[in-house]
Amino acid sequence: MSLLFRQVSGELGAVWPAVLATVAFVATFVGIAVWAWRPANRQRFEEAARLPLDELPATEDGERSGA
């Protein structure tokens, strides 16, 4: 090994785990973002977004009204 390589690897030895963790995080984030923006998931996410609005309001005694 060259002297330069040993010096650089010695100085950056503790940095590599952080670099690898950052690369893994970015790859995971990009993968989740691509999955979430796929047109195949659009219907599922639209239905999930409407869930809070589709709930029937509770009455004062805790029963659901309307049914």
**Within a 10 A sphere around the Cβ of 5, how many other Cβ atoms?**
9
* pLDDT tens, N- to C-terminus, the chain (67 residues): 566 666 666 666 778 888 899 999 999 999 999 999 999 989 998 998 888 888 766 666 656 555 4
How many residues make up the chain in this entry?
67
Is pTM, for the whole model, over 0.75? no
Phi-psi region of 51 (alpha: psi -120 to 50; beta: other; left: phi over 0): alpha
- Residue 2 DSSP one-character state: -
